[in-house]
Structure 1
């Protein structure tokens, strides 16, 4: 039976409406105050709550704020007095499904209630589907049997229940964002938003606006007030990827928020608070960045409360074949299996692009190989030339830095010099690719690299 909570301090009106709804087949509980309503919500799940906005003590708006975006919150229909449209609009912004002006007819209320139940049922189906998809997305990169990776997972389980900032350090493609999402999913904040931003892609002049929001007219083009990610992620998690790429002047503003939990929108005077968990990630040695003066020491200490070093795939070779097999089996299309000789070649490769590169390899195999099994011959067509016999000698004779340089050159050649495509195949951002080209002194004219 469909359950309704009717919250109104006007007892005669409440009782009459509750009786009418009971006649229509609903199971109705009553609450005469905000305090009583919250108590009932703690002990019972309702499909719909009919809520009077104007009550002494805890009013309707405060109830909406308290129940927030909880998974099992009811759909809320608010009742307002004449001239209270502004309050009703605020209620809708807080998540109310509909609002009706008092006194309202039972026929209007029934239409709104039935629509609310219909929406609630659809959202529950979407929630179940979303959870199923979420599990698939989270779990595919958390596959691993190596000891180093199992230790990471154990540490994640322990740290997820705290509110402490976390710093994830690891090469591109090791799965830092996936691990950040897993921490959020296992935490008490899992029902609140998970927001992410790549700091390498944030222009300095927009950093503050994107994170903290801005008021209307704060700068050219700011034609409306906009919430920042810190505000949107309230009660949830904010993932700051490539944190080491953040400009120094922006680091100071981020540090101030982490220390105080308060911020101002760009162009605004009001001070806001936001309770969020910060997870930051970097593919650099951030201690070296601090020594070189490119990253603030005080911000590093604030972020580095819990630290994870995510091992690259070459350091957990036991995970290569399970991941390869998983991608083959779960991605649509052929091939689904591989020849035993393929395993040796996969294990002999250094995987500078890590898990992302392995997944991209399987995606290419799925597109271009129609046979049931991957053979060594087919595999070699889609791996850098460093995997051939000549390449195996290179693997033994070079440092990891030299190997990465060779891998970047080979990938650029295969892409005809298309740096955007090469960055996607390598599993890094275009900015990171340019940094590596500069670091390894690789000319942009590929004719020089032959």
Structure 2
């Protein structure tokens, strides 16, 4: 990493610069704001350490001008006047962190390494996203949140290897998509990607599904058939919901993974198989091992590389981009979300994760009559979510009452008599409550 140190105190620059060079960093020094801007325009720096107060130009002005040239540059402000107000000010300007004089060299190194790690993750994630755009994925990879950038960075490192990987995550988080991405970024990308849903295949057919069978091996086996291991030759085999695999079959899968050989049902001939196995589960396999429902040796065989996909509630900053993507994908016409609708969506926990969001957008874009999607167009479970999670009891009840009134009115085309009847109240009471809640027909 190339670092520019900007401080009008030359001794401070030399001390800090010498220390960082011993840690393996490439360091340049500038003794004024003007000199810093000149050096910044001539050389690429990933990180700038800026003195907050300098005679010719304040550090925040230097940072503002640097950000105008390169918005991606990382920075730390150094100040002898440390306070909460100073910290807030420099963070608003786009600084990643701040330091107080006298500078603690160990603290500086720790913060720089943290920023360096973040830069590496972002670069790897950007590279993965760029390649994913060109790949034949069923949908785009949307991951601007720190949690998803970490996932994409791990994908970048996992993909070139040939080790078995276990992808963990709740239902609907996109485990299959990540498995396909690993395959498409691997040296096996030109070979098959074969998927097996371990929860969907009957136990009595599973061995045949994985390993194949010979003609006459069992009733109904009218011809020989290749199993998924053979079909995935030289490619990747994706075992989805592997936590649902019956114990009776786990030993056979373990043997295939260990020996890289299989035998079709009804045959004693061993067939060598060259496949990269990717497994996914929404279950806690360690807990399943403790319960005796999953073999410990198979768990460790699958869990060579571990990747956890965060739930949507831990990557809320991705929701607006996901909403835009799904809306453009499923709506036959431009259909923007207004600010209230988007805010309501971002607050929702999405227990079904990205899949729930996708299906919700499909319903809304199909049923909405207007040209803009408003909060009232969202499903009741999303609008009522606010009433159950925040505020006092009176505030929650008021929000819930408002949402019920709106839902009934919208359902009955704002015909008050019908809305009142569906709510079990009189039309007079309905009008009173509408006035109280300041509800009027749009």
Q: Distance in 1 between matches of 2:382 and 2:330?
A: 24
Structure 2 gaps of 5+ residues are 1-130, 392-442
Q: What SS does structure 2 have at the residue aligned with 1:355?
A: helix
CA-CA distance at 1:182 after TM superposition: 0.5
Map of 1:14-413 to 2, 5 A cutoff? 135=135, 137-140=137-140, 142-379=141-378, 383=379, 385-389=380-384, 391-396=385-390
Q: What SS does structure 1 have at the residue aligned with 2:199?
A: helix
Report if the CA contact (8 A) 1:335-1:366 is conserved: no
Q: Distance in 2 between matches of 1:294 and 1:134?
A: 41
Report if the CA contact (8 A) 1:335-1:371 is conserved: no
Q: Distance in 2 between matches of 1:306 and 1:378?
A: 43
CA-CA distance at 1:133 after TM superposition: 9.7
Deviations 1:105-127 (A, max 9, x none): xxxxxxxxxxxxxxxxxxxxxxx
Q: Distance in 1 between matches of 2:155 and 2:184?
A: 11
Q: What SS does structure 1 have at the residue aligned with 2:220?
A: coil
255-264 or 200-209: which moved more? 200-209
Q: What SS does structure 2 have at the residue aligned with 1:338?
A: coil
Q: Distance in 2 between matches of 1:168 and 1:211?
A: 20
Structure 2 CA distance for partners of 1:155 and 1:322, relative to 1, 3 Å: same
Give the root-mean-square deviation of aligned CA atoms: 1.9
Q: Distance in 2 between matches of 1:164 and 1:265?
A: 24
Structure 1 length as normaliser, TM-score? 0.56
CA-CA distance at 1:332 after TM superposition: 4.1
Report if the CA contact (8 A) 2:211-2:230 is conserved: yes
Q: Distance in 2 between matches of 1:185 and 1:192?
A: 9
CA-CA distance at 1:396 after TM superposition: 4.9
CA-CA distance at 1:327 after TM superposition: 1.2
CA-CA distance at 1:132 after TM superposition: 10
Q: What SS does structure 2 have at the residue aligned with 1:223?
A: coil
Structure 2 CA distance for partners of 1:193 and 1:150, relative to 1, 3 Å: same
Equivalenced residue count is 261
CA-CA distance at 1:386 after TM superposition: 3.4
Q: Distance in 1 between matches of 2:231 and 2:134?
A: 20
Report if the CA contact (8 A) 2:196-2:239 is conserved: yes
CA-CA distance at 1:343 after TM superposition: 1.3
CA-CA distance at 1:337 after TM superposition: 1.0
Deviations 1:48-72 (A, max 9, x none): xxxxxxxxxxxxxxxxxxxxxxxxx
Q: Distance in 1 between matches of 2:368 and 2:137?
A: 24
Q: What SS does structure 2 have at the residue aligned with 1:259?
A: helix
Report if the CA contact (8 A) 1:334-1:369 is conserved: no
Q: Distance in 2 between matches of 1:370 and 1:258?
A: 54
CA-CA distance at 1:330 after TM superposition: 3.0
**Partner in structure 2 of residue 9 of structure 1:** none
Q: What SS does structure 1 have at the residue aligned with 2:167?
A: strand
Q: Distance in 2 between matches of 1:297 and 1:192?
A: 31
Report if the CA contact (8 A) 1:335-1:370 is conserved: no
Deviations 1:305-353 (A, max 9, x none): 0001110000111111111011112334135311111111001111011
Report if the CA contact (8 A) 1:195-1:239 is conserved: yes
Q: Distance in 1 between matches of 2:283 and 2:331?
A: 35
Q: Distance in 2 between matches of 1:284 and 1:133?
A: 30
Report if the CA contact (8 A) 2:235-2:275 is conserved: yes
Q: Distance in 2 between matches of 1:137 and 1:192?
A: 15
Q: What SS does structure 2 have at the residue aligned with 1:337?
A: coil
